[in-house]
Amino acid sequence: MQRIINFIINNRNAFLYAVLVLFGLIITVNTHSYHQSKFFNSSKWITGSIYGVSYNIKDYFNLREENQRLVLENEQLREQLLNAPVTYLSDSIYNFTVTPAKALKNMYSSPRNYITLDKGEKDGIKQDMGVITPLGVLGIIENTSNNFSVVQSILNTKSNINAKIKNTNYFGSLVWNARDYRTVQLIDIPRSVPLTVGDTITTGAMSSIFPEDIPIGVIKAYDLNQNQSTFTINVDLFNDMANIKNVYIIKNKNRKEVLELQKLVEDAK
């Protein structure tokens, strides 16, 4: 306490000067309208700047909550889109739900690539559910644990997904030759089909895992196979397979019933 008193005494002239300046400013502002205007405008600017900084700080710390809200909103919109009556199948046997998830580990450089997600059996995730991103198809759930699941990526030599040329009924199988993580192959397209580089490739209607018309990519190039009867089409993927984070797991609630019915028909042949 004595140090504080000594400091004030030693700097009394500076303190007195500051008090007199402040007193003079108060008198000036109170007796001149021009100075009042300038003072209040300055104070508003300072207050506004403080509020702006405070809002930006608060907004930064609320980003996580805001992102979760946007993911939930996207989940609802994605579910509506998947169940939109765009084909004759959408209203009849397909009824899809959507679960958002995050990629924890992403392999994209080996012949058999897998992606680990942060959702598992406790979230209702099961084998053979489809996985997509906002840009397009990613793969199919292969294994699950209580808290996690593993996706067989479309960049996997075992992957085989029904796909088609958009706005046509020409179907084939989407596979991967393990050469380029940006490109997959669509095979079994008849040579009579007119093809154009840049045409869009989407999921077909022959799958009980994916809804029809989920984007995959565009035609990059194509060649006739050795038997000269079908094309092999190189498809440039919409997804950047080296940069996967937010995904959606889709479930066809009627898939089991559809597969059982199809099996009965096949067994009866």
Higher pLDDT pick, 150 / 55 = 150
Torsion of CA 49, 50, 55, 58, to 10 degrees: 150
Confidence of residue 79 (pLDDT cuts 50, 70, 90): low
Instruction: Take residue 80 and report the two structure tokens written for it.
Output: 């509506």
| Contact criterion met (CB below 8 Å) for 117 and 250 | no
Confidence of residue 241 (pLDDT cuts 50, 70, 90): very high
Q: Which of 21-25, 31-35, 80-84 has the highest mean pLDDT?
A: 21-25
Confidence of residue 223 (pLDDT cuts 50, 70, 90): very high
pLDDT for 51: 41
Region of poorest pLDDT, from 3-12, 129-138, 172-181:
3-12
At 23, phi and psi to the nearest 5? Answer: -60, -40
> Does the pLDDT of residue 227 top 60, yes or no?
yes
pLDDT for 28: 61
Q: What is the CATH number of domain 97-253?
A: 2.40.10.340
Q: Indicate the domain borders of the chain.
A: 2-61, 97-253
Region of poorest pLDDT, from 14-28, 103-117, 134-148, 198-212:
14-28
> Does the pLDDT of residue 245 top 60, yes or no?
yes
| Beta-carbon-side half-sphere exposure of residue 165 (alpha carbons within 13 Å) | 21
Stretch 237-259: mean pLDDT: 87
> Does the pLDDT of residue 55 top 50, yes or no?
no
Higher pLDDT pick, 21 / 154 = 154
Higher pLDDT pick, 81 / 177 = 177
pLDDT for 174: 97
Q: Which of 1-5, 105-109, 153-157, 168-172 has the highest mean pLDDT?
A: 153-157
Give me the percent of the chain exceeding a pLDDT of 70. Answer: 66
pLDDT for 59: 53
> Does the pLDDT of residue 48 top 60, yes or no?
no
Whole-structure pTM value = 0.67
Stretch 16-36: mean pLDDT: 61
Residue among 249, 242, 115 at smallest CA distance from 183: 242
pLDDT for 13: 72
Q: Which residues pair with 102 in a beta bridge?
A: 246
**Alpha-carbon gap, residue 41 to 59, rounded angstroms:** 26
